[in-house]
Amino acid sequence: MALELDYEGYWGGRDDYPSIGGCYYAARIAVLEALRSMRRQAAVILWREIYPGFNLPIGVWWVRENIRAMLNGPYERFYELNDALRYVAGFLKLPISTWVSRSYVIRVLTRQSSLVNWLGGK
């Protein structure tokens, strides 16, 4: 199973076409619509595994509409990234370590300091 990833930073946006193609933009628009309706900003990680047998050419429409439905449905709340990753690991066929080791967004999130750290708190 191949693993394809792409990302977009907060400040830079994109100036090239994503390596994973139109699905990137289909997912992005669904997420941006949800964040706008919540009047929120967020770091977002979307992972999708495609298994043998999923061979219908439904493409970006399927991605966009399923992410819209997911974001309008029930959700789980986590206060720590590691708790969320442990939860997600139960749904993935690839080991969570494979996803984490390749994810730029997780690397950034785990290296960020909180405002409390800058103000001298613990």
The domain limits of the chain are 22-118
Q: What SS3 state is found at 9?
A: strand
pLDDT tens per residue, range 97-108:
999 999 988 988
In sequence order, the β-bridge partners of residue 9 are 13
**Comparing C-alpha atoms, which of 46, 65, 34, 59 is closest to residue 5?**
46
- What pLDDT score does 107 carry? 87
pLDDT tens per residue, range 82-96:
999 999 999 999 999
- What pLDDT score does 117 carry? 64
